[in-house]
Structure 1
């Protein structure tokens, strides 16, 4: 049997390791599985300045191009391809947006890091999908790793960091 004086430090260490946020690819996750804060890369900030995009600029976005105009839709943890429904600055409607979905918390979190206008090279950006009044809240029947949402579209907002 291990002496008590050895068990106590090991128990304290295990407590702190297990109660901290986990990380995936350097990004910290909150206890509910939603992503923690993340800085917007300088390359994206510069590209957004060149496009004339400012924090708070917004547009409408189709959350998953494979489920356009469907209700409800199911999103999965991981990469997502979305599409602008209306122009955003100099980016035309139908610009593809690439990012990541997290379904761990009560609200779905979607962060975008790339815009791909038609017939142009991809452009780094920082943007999030949002809807007022909890509309990105998962339906109760959502299974782990998925989120069933009422609507296939949301608002897209330019940000200078992810919170």
Structure 2
């Protein structure tokens, strides 16, 4: 099995020239306020193949790097920086995951588009945050544009498309 450094170097060479702008732009919104389907960009699929990350691979994540370890957190619509808590393929704990949060639907939706290893360059990925019972449930009474979550952590799962 190749070393982590060799795998990450291969990914970075394979996706060189990639613009890692906000991959969440242009996402359609469903009538209930949740994001619609979205394909995983080909560069992310390529990077995940090189890293041997397959749909269903999972680990744990602290949802908001700024609210790490709190028992209950408030998240807002918009960008999010999360912290990987365990290994995810070749990605080490403390890797930062960057994505987007939507709070408009019945559950909070978090999609990740980029991973940044502790001493590495950005890597395109496609992943989602979930809890064991499915979605990230909002506590009742959450104000519009934000949501109160019972836990600061969740599972993070690799996907090949956002549904």
TM normalised by structure 1 equals 0.83
CA contact (8 A) 2:108 2:135 kept: no
Unaligned regions of 5+ residues in structure 2, if any? Answer: 1-23
Paired position in structure 2 for 1:29: 29
Paired position in structure 1 for 2:152: 152
Paired position in structure 2 for 1:54: 54
- Is 2:145 the counterpart of 1:123? no
Structure 1 runs (4+) greater than 2 angstroms displaced: 132-135
Paired position in structure 1 for 2:11: none
The one-character-per-residue Cα deviations of 1:83-114 (angstroms, maximum 9, x if unpaired) are 10001000000000000000001100000000
Paired position in structure 2 for 1:5: none
CA contact (8 A) 1:107 1:134 kept: no
Alpha-carbon distance change, 118 to 25 in structure 1, aligned in 2, over 3 angstroms = closer
The one-character-per-residue Cα deviations of 1:1-56 (angstroms, maximum 9, x if unpaired) are xxxxxxxxxxxxxxxxxxxxxxx942110001100000000000000011110010
RMSD: 1.2
Aligned residue for 2:148, secondary structure, equals strand
Task: Tell me how far apart the structure 2 counterparts of residues 131 and 63 of structure 1 sit (CA, whole Å).
Answer: 11
Task: Tell me how far apart the structure 2 counterparts of residues 72 and 135 of structure 1 sit (CA, whole Å).
Answer: 16
Task: Tell me how far apart the structure 2 counterparts of residues 144 and 69 of structure 1 sit (CA, whole Å).
Answer: 24
Task: Tell me how far apart the structure 2 counterparts of residues 158 and 126 of structure 1 sit (CA, whole Å).
Answer: 6
Alpha-carbon distance change, 45 to 133 in structure 1, aligned in 2, over 3 angstroms = same
